[in-house]
Each structure stands twice: as structure tokens, then as C-alpha cells.
Structure 1
Amino acid sequence: MSERKNVYFFYKKEDKLVEKVESLLDFAKDHGFIIVEDDTKANIIVSIGGDGEFLQAVRKTKFRSDCLYAGIGVDDTLSLYCDFHIDDREKIIHAMKESQIEVRRYPVLEVIVDGKTTFKCLNECSIKSSIIKTFVIDVFIDDLHFETFRGDGMLISTPTGSTAYNKSVNGAVVDPMLPCIQVSELASLNNNLYRTLGSSFILSDKRKLTLKIVQDGNDYPVIGIDNEALSIRNVKQLEYGLSETPIKTVKLKDNSFWEKVKRTFL
């Protein structure tokens, strides 16, 4: 950590936050860190906000694998990506200087739309009907036609994303040290014509998942990438797999993923 000095701060320029951030920036400069305005010149990228801001920071800086990401919270809301609080400036600097932090590699989901456009996400990718009508998806694992789904949509999540939207649809919470993706259904319709597994399932990082949308008049689904919606119409096929380059995040040694899960949900 000691050789990493160029820091880029990502945050919303809100009046209630600017003063605290400016104080934090001055504090960082006093301790030998260099504040940069261009994220491509940083080797540490710090988001200030909550989990949503952390997701935006990673996305806006293009999921860089050659730097460290860190999250700083601004309120008392429990967070899975933010190990620090903006009022604990000395704790932040002390942790960095005294090696009280660890580097964690978080799997990143890669999504290819219609064989052309590639997107990445840290939490999940969802595909849902844009109208009040179910739609049909053929599900392939590698080259195997696994099932034909009919319902509101499907959710594909990473291990770190397993505690977000995925958990609310009864998906499993997955240790982020396991490189895998999870597939969960959104209100599936199971009858004599359409039959699905009816539960979430987990695929290894060596697998490829393909969703082919059956064109039946409801072919304008809404695709969500983390906390953003994609403005893509007439999607026919989505391919999912884990990226070969995870992102690196910093965390306090005494604040593991499972400690955060316990603190948040139990």
C-alpha cells in the first residue's frame, strides 16, 4: 500500500458532503498522498457514499484491475463495500500506513449482448419484462439447453451481489472467495408447458450461461446492470461469464465479508 500514493476521490458534489470531503482531502495530502483529478492517473480510487456510490465508482472508472478500490461511508447505514466512515479520518490513514488492511479480489460479471456489446457489473445483471406480461427465455449452460423459463425475468449475480437483489428473491448468500455466478428466477410460471428448476443455481467460473429471448411480442425487456438500466432495445441474446480480471478492494482485517453479513442481516 505504501507505494500507492495517487488517489482519486469519487463522490456526489452535494453541499452537505463537500466540506467533509475537502477536509478529508487536506488530511490525505498532509499524510503524503497525492490527490489526482483524472482517475486514469490514480492507483487508489476511493468512493465516498454508500454501496451504490461504490458501484458507480467502479463502473465510471471502467473496472480497473491495476488499482485498488476503497469505500468510505457517510452515514450510519450498514454497507458491504465501505469499510471506513468519513468521520474516521485518522482510522483511515492509520489503517493504510500500519498495514491493517487486506486486499480482496472480487469477481466481476461480464455480459455480452447479442454478440456485440460487452458490459461488466460487480453485483448483478437482471433482465425483466418491460410490460405487464410474462416472457419466455431459453436457458443454456455451455451448449446444453437447460430449461425454458416463463415469468417476469431472471437475475444473474456475483458472490458479492448475492446479498443484494439476489437475496430478496431467496437466492443463496455466496462467499466472494468462490469465483462463480448465481442464477435466480423472478416469478417463474411452472405448468405443463413451461418447467424450470424452481430454485437458484450456481455455476463455476468455467461455465458460460446464455439466455435466448423467445420473440413473442414482448421483446423489449429491461436490462439492469448493477444500479443502472441499459437503453438497449430488441435484445435477443445475453451471454454471461466471469471476467478474467477481478477488481481489487481494500478492507480492514477485522471486518470480513461474513462479519458484514452477520452485522447487516442477523
Structure 2
Amino acid sequence: MKYAITSKGDSKSNALMHKMRTYLNDFDLQYDENQPDMVISVGGDGTLLYAFHRYKNRLDKTAFVGVHTGHLGFYADWTPDEVEKLVIAVAKTPFQVVEYPLLEVIIRYQHAGKESRYLALNESTVKSVEGTLVMDVEIRGQHFETFRGDGLCISTPTGSTAYNKALGGAILHPSIPAIQLAEMASINNRVFRTVGSPLVLPAHHTCMLKPVNDVDFQITVDHLTLLHKDVKSIQFRVAAEKIRFARFRPFPFWKRVKDSFIRE
């Protein structure tokens, strides 16, 4: 089996990376940064997000596993003192593959320009570069509302515990193929009105945002921040691709939620 390791870059994570690489090579596993069957992320959830985007063109061939060197993460479930156990598991144990849904983002431009397509593991946000964001929101091709406010956040089930949660969105179990639309400080008065609640859309529903005025937009895709001009529409839906995680032991989602947010 071919493997690669990504590190957060701090001294602790780098030391663990080199230690694991030495152990795995002793088991005659092949290190291959270009075409790995497994990617081990050492750091935190941000490090695994980086690894996901680096290998997003190999999602059907590559499985991910995370080692956290800080706080317990939603993606990084192994601890530094379990590295030897993880190495033996990777080298000797058949692993279960768990697949989680991703968010597809397609940005189309005025004048029939080239479209841009992105995949998000956590979420995508849309804000106006200057002033209030004004967007027509369409669901399944039908106008739903005209949003006015600071911005909109569209998240995956795994991303529902991140920025979406801070916006008052629901926490979704990652086995549910859905996306969630949450508002950022919407304007609601006698003149302007939005639904005011997060929306959960199933896999066969598409959410389309269409600008009402001609402005530039700041669009994020996970940790990436992008500036887009001449935007005609921004389309969101559950992606055909999925991320694959290598599981060597149970990793209950609701236990992670409890440990992250309400553990005594």
C-alpha cells in the first residue's frame, strides 16, 4: 500500500510525521506523495482540510485518517501516544471505509464565461465585498426569497459543527446526504423579510444564488478565500464525490459532538 503524510508544520507534528514514516517504511509500505492509497494527517482538522484539497482529484482512490496534536477534532481522532498502535493497524489490519458527503460549488459568470467548480468538506460562504449582500435564493429552480444581510453559509453535515453551528444552524449526522443553508445577520423588517431559519436540503435539491446588483463577491471554500467578479450565479448541491475515511475502530459522531461542546 502506498501512503503519504501531511503535517501541521509545528515541531510536535513534524516529529510525529517522521516517526510514523520510519515505522511504516519498516513495514515495507511505500511512501508516495503523488498517488497515495492513504493519507495520514498530523495536526488538527485544518490540516486534514488541507490534505483533502490537495488530494481532491483522488477521492475515489484515497482514504484519510487523522492524528491530532492539539484538541480533539472531528476528523483527527488518533492521539500522539497511539501512533504505534495506528502504524500497526495501517500496516496489518484491513480497515473499514466510511464515506461522508461533500458540497459542490459552481460559480457561473456573466457573458457566458467559463464556470468555476469547487468541492468543500466543511462549508462555503458568500459575502459582498462592499456593503450588504443581496441575493435571490432559488431552490429547485423556484424563487424562495431575496436575502439581504451580511452573508450566507452553505455547509456539509460534517461542516455543520463548524461555522454553521456558530450561526445557529443544526448539527447534522454525516450519514445524511444533505447541505444546509444558514443566514448571517439577515435584515428583517416591514420591507424586507427572509425565512430566518436554517434550511436543510436533500441530495436531489439544488440551491442557486443570483446577485440582485452588480458587485464583487468574497466566496470561501473551506479555508480558501476567493474574490469573484461578474458573477451570474452560484450553485450549491451535494457533490457526486465523497470523502473516504479509513476507520480502524469505532468513532461515534455524537460522542465527538459531546466531547467537543458539552463534555464536563
TM-score normalised to the size of structure 2? 0.91
Give the structure 2 partner of residue 120 of structure 1.
119
Q: Deviation of residue 18 (structure 1)?
A: 2.8
> Partners in 2 of 1:232 and 1:6 — Cα distance?
38
> Partners in 1 of 2:89 and 2:33 — Cα distance?
24
SS at match of 1:167: helix
Is the 1:126–1:154 contact (alpha carbons within 8 Å) kept by the matching residues of 2?
Answer: yes
> Partners in 2 of 1:244 and 1:199 — Cα distance?
27
Is the 1:27–1:89 contact (alpha carbons within 8 Å) kept by the matching residues of 2?
Answer: no
**1:149 pairs with 140, 147, 150, which one?**
147
> Partners in 2 of 1:181 and 1:150 — Cα distance?
21
* Residues 37 and 98 (structure 1), Cα distance of their counterparts in 2 relative to 1, 3 Å cut: closer
> Partners in 2 of 1:189 and 1:30 — Cα distance?
60
Give the structure 2 partner of residue 55 of structure 1.
49
2:141 corresponds to 1:140 = no
The one-letter amino acid paired with 1:35 is Y
Give the structure 2 partner of residue 92 of structure 1.
86
> Partners in 2 of 1:174 and 1:14 — Cα distance?
32
Aligned residues: 255
> Partners in 1 of 2:25 and 2:187 — Cα distance?
57
Give the structure 1 partner of residue 100 of structure 2.
106
The one-letter amino acid paired with 1:129 is S
What RMSD, in angstroms, separates the aligned Cα atoms of the two structures?
1.7
Is the 1:83–1:251 contact (alpha carbons within 8 Å) kept by the matching residues of 2?
Answer: no
Give the structure 2 partner of residue 247 of structure 1.
243
| Residue ranges of structure 1 left out of the alignment (5+ in a row) | none
After superposition, the C-alpha distances for 1:65-113 in whole angstroms (9 at most, x for unaligned) are 22111111122x12000121233222212433345x5321010110100
> Partners in 2 of 1:8 and 1:93 — Cα distance?
13
Give the structure 2 partner of residue 83 of structure 1.
77
Higher percent of residues as strand: 2
Give the structure 2 partner of residue 10 of structure 1.
6
Is the 2:13–2:42 contact (alpha carbons within 8 Å) kept by the matching residues of 1?
Answer: no
2:177 corresponds to 1:179 = yes
Q: Deviation of residue 13 (structure 1)?
A: 4.3
Is the 2:12–2:69 contact (alpha carbons within 8 Å) kept by the matching residues of 1?
Answer: no
SS at match of 2:46: helix
SS at match of 2:241: coil
Is the 2:203–2:237 contact (alpha carbons within 8 Å) kept by the matching residues of 1?
Answer: yes
| Residue ranges of structure 2 left out of the alignment (5+ in a row) | 110-114
2:259 corresponds to 1:263 = yes
The one-letter amino acid paired with 1:229 is T
